[in-house]
Each structure stands twice: as structure tokens, then as C-alpha cells.
Amino acid sequence: MSVRVRFAPSPTGPLHIGGVRTALYNYLFAKKHGGKFLLRIEDTDQERYVEGAENYIIESLKWLNLNYDEGVDIGGKFAPYRQSERKEIYKKYVQQLIDKGAAYYAFDTPEELEQMRQRLENEHSTVRHYCHLTRMQMKNSYTLSQQQVKELIDSGIPYVVRFNIPPNRKIQLYDIIRGNISFDSNTLDDKVLFKSDGLPTYHLANIVDDHLMEITHVIRGEEWLPSLPLHALLYEAFGWTPPQFAHLPLILKPNGKGKLSKRDGDQMGFPVFPLEWKDPQTGEISRGYREWGYLPQAVVNMLALLGWNPGTEQEIFNINELAQLFDLEKVQKAGAKFDPEKTKWFNQQHLKKVDSKLLVENFKNQYKSLINKDDTTVKKIIELIRDRAVFENDLWENAKYFFVAPQNYAEKALKKYWKGNIDERMKEIVDFFENQSNFESSALEKVTIEWIQNKGENLGKILNTVRVLIVGDAVGPHLFNIIEILGKEETLNRIKNGILKLGKPTTE
């Protein structure tokens, strides 16, 4: 059977980057094995449903280029892929479990359940849940006659269907990431599988859907590891072959203490969602990676290596390279610490790889009212400064002096360089530049350095002062590359204007 995996989020709010990584690992695993990647929306918990969350999930995956082969908005041979549209399917299968004695009706009210928990606590019992030790004291199919059960259901009394966890079972399971795991069935409770509103809980719905959709591997977060024995028992009760399981490690706070949360991002100034999210109840807006200016390929690269490593020194990958190398058995068991600064580094590295034509086009569209140079020159500028930018929006900050002459000069740079007789030296360099016909970078650099050295002046002092006058600060790429792009006339105008503006320097 060919590989089939699914990403099955609940539309209860924005998609956390932990969920994005789960989707990514499913995608990479499917592509590595030539299989199929599905998007299924698990919306059976209607009380927690949040308007707009499903569309947010879809848009997030599309922005990240995690294109699924079957799903809620594109269909597929196992449609529908939204669980609320599959209600009738689950009724059939829960009835199968009831008929086999693997599940039972329970009519306990919330108050009666709380009374049970309180009683067990008062008795200092090691058991605090609904199970084989407590079910005989509750209101369910085991303590009521068939006729009583039927009358209660017919009268519309709320009920749930619980799974009959077999006692005294040692459940031996295998996880691709964690190896062999053992569970004691006596520690498990009789989980609710179905509610009287006609909707199943996650436990039943995901088992039935994974079976019917022929899912071969379930790759999900480690928070679902405690549910693994229940799910294995459900497969056993149905007589179905279970898929292989892999439970991914948590993404941890930057200090490694606990699961990464939105609060961590708010406090430390980094996003934890792929896209901007506006809370429909509070109106609170949380910016996402897209709005912060991150490239989707950088986010994918960063998340792929957050808990998995191909075993090489290489760190920068495109999504096809990741798919070729991805191996679930190399996913670590321990949680992976999130590093905000390393995330910026990934974006910087991927920005260097973006086609210059695309950067030029985006740059011109964003700053068209300020750009006064032709496309060829703009391309030269972008290529000159792009390595200094972390985000695409940083390009203007690093390039603006090519288009707009400085109106002010960095105080720190002036304090360092605008002193002594530097104004006289700048007047001399104006005369020198005016006598040069070749303003090509390497040619001008050669003769200028020779001129400064013949004058017996400090090379760094003279050239950095020139930089301050034409750029506004002692920063930027190679000075003579800047001068070549600005041209002779503009360079001279800026130096002359700077001398006039700054006036007589301070004494040494």
C-alpha cells in the first residue's frame, strides 16, 4: 500500500507553528515516499469552533507551499474531509462497537460525574476516573436494563457512548520515533466516543476516518501520546490493521522550559503563527511570519530542522531537498528549543537566494515614488546590499541613500571623523575627484588610495569621512561601489553639501 498521511487540525483558533511543523513533516514524509498528503478538518467539538479558523489553516498551508493532494477545499476520493459532514458515517461504527460489547451507553449527568470524582478523592482512591472499577456504580448500560436504556434514549435524555477499556491489559506498542512503548490498561479511563448531539469525539472520528481514508502513517504531536493505547484498542475492537504511529517532540520556549506559547512570542517579540490572526471575540491582532516579512521557504527550512537533522553540516535547504532527505527515524525524542535569532538567520540566508529580478520588481512597486534610477542600476544596488538585509523590507533601509541624499549625519560617525583639518582634506578630495574621468569602482579606488598615501594621510580616516558625507553614516557596502553607482556629479554634490552643512570641524 502506498504511503498516505494526513494533517488533521481542529478549527479552534490560529495555527501554531507546532501545528505547522506537524503538517510539514507529514508533507515531507509523503513526498519522500511518493505518497499522498491529506488535509482533514476535525470540527466535531462544536463548542470550541472558531469562525474563520478553517480558512486560516488553508491559507497558511498554501502560503507555505505545503500543497495537499486531497482536502476540504479540493475534494478527493474519500470526501467529505470535514468531520461535521461525516456524522452519519460515525453512527454506523459506534453502533458496531456497542453491538460487540466494546462500547456502552452512559447517562450520568455532570453533577453525578463530579460526585463520583469527589467520592473517590475522599476515599483516597488511586482511581479518579470512569473505568471498570467505577462504571458499575454509575448510570450506564451495565447498571440499567436494556429496556431502561431504550426508554432513556427515546425520551431524549442526554447520553454519551463510552469505550469499554479492558482491565489488566499490558498494551505493547511501537512508535517510529520513540521505539517500543508499554501501557497499563488499568490507568486508562472509559473515554467518551460519541455524544447524544450526533457527533463523535476526536477519538472515534479520527480512528474511523484514518481507516476509511487508508491512512498508513499517523504523524502527530507528542500531546497525543497518552491517547495512543486507546486508539490501538479501538483498532483492535474494530478488527482493523492500525497505521504506524510517530509522535513528534514539542517545540520549546527559547529557554527550553516548557512548550512555546503565544505569550512567549508577545514578550520576546517574535511570531508564533504563520499568518496574522484577529481574534473574533476580543479583536486582538497577532502578526504572523508573513506579516513580519519572513519568506515562506525560510519558515519551512527553520521548522524542518526544529527537531530533525539529516545528519550533515548543511543547514539551508529548499523544500524538495528536505523531502529527499527527510527520515522520521532521525526525528529527536526530546523537545526542540525555538531560537528567534536563528530564525532570522534562516530568513537572511534565503533572502540571498531570491531571484534579483523579483526583488527589484517588489522594491520598485513598494518605493516607486522615491526611485529615480533605471532597472539596471536598481538591480546593481539590490545585489550590492542584499546580503546585509534580514527581511525584504530591510532593503530600503540599506539602500535609501542611493536614491535620497542624506539630510543628516550620524552623530557617532561625525564625532569620530569630522575633526581637525578634515574639512580641508575633503575640499582637496573634491578637487581630486573633479579631475578624474573614470569613476568605475576599481579604477577610482586605485588612484584615490595612491593619492591619499602620497599625501601621507590616514586611509581609513579619509575614506570613512567621504562615506559619511555621501551616505550619512560610516556604514554600507564597498565605498567605491557606492560612488560608481551614484556617479561623479552626485558624489561631488554630496561631498560639497556635506562640507557646507557641517562647517568647521571640532579640534582634535
Residue with cell 505493547: 172
Phi-psi domain of 265 (left: phi exceeds 0; alpha: psi -120 through 50; beta: other): alpha
Listed in sequence order, the DSSP H helices in 326-420 are: 340-353, 356-367, 375-385, 394-399, 411-417
Number of Cβ atoms within 10 Å of the Cβ of 110: 8
Locate 399 and state its grid cell: 539602500
Which residue in 262, 364, 488, 496 is the catalytic one?
262
Phi-psi domain of 175 (left: phi exceeds 0; alpha: psi -120 through 50; beta: other): beta
Give the whole-angstrom CA distance, residue 29 versus residue 246: 11
Q: Which residues of 321-346 are buried (b: 16+ CB within 10 A; e: fewer)?
A: ebbebbebeebeeebbbbeeeebbbb
CA 220 to chain centre: 15
Number of Cβ atoms within 10 Å of the Cβ of 374: 9
Coil, helix or strand at residue 155: coil
| Cα dist from 324 to 172, 261, 317, 354, 433, whole Å | 32, 31, 10, 22, 55
Give the whole-angstrom CA distance, residue 111 versus residue 246: 38
Residue with cell 529527499: 324
- Residue type for 247, please? H
Give the whole-angstrom CA distance, residue 264 versus residue 266: 5
Coil, helix or strand at residue 182: strand
DSSP assigned state of 242: P
The verdict on whether 496 is a catalytic residue reads no
Q: Give the side-chain half-sphere CA count within 13 A for 345.
A: 8
Strand positions, DSSP E, 99-241: 103-106, 160-163, 170-175, 179-184, 192-195, 217-221
Give the whole-angstrom CA distance, residue 161 versus residue 97: 10
144 contact partners, CB below 8 Å, separation of at least 6: 107, 152
Strand partners for 38 = 6, 70
Give the whole-angstrom CA distance, residue 463 versus residue 265: 42
Number of Cβ atoms within 10 Å of the Cβ of 143: 15
459 contact partners, CB below 8 Å, separation of at least 6: 449, 452, 453
Active site residues: 262
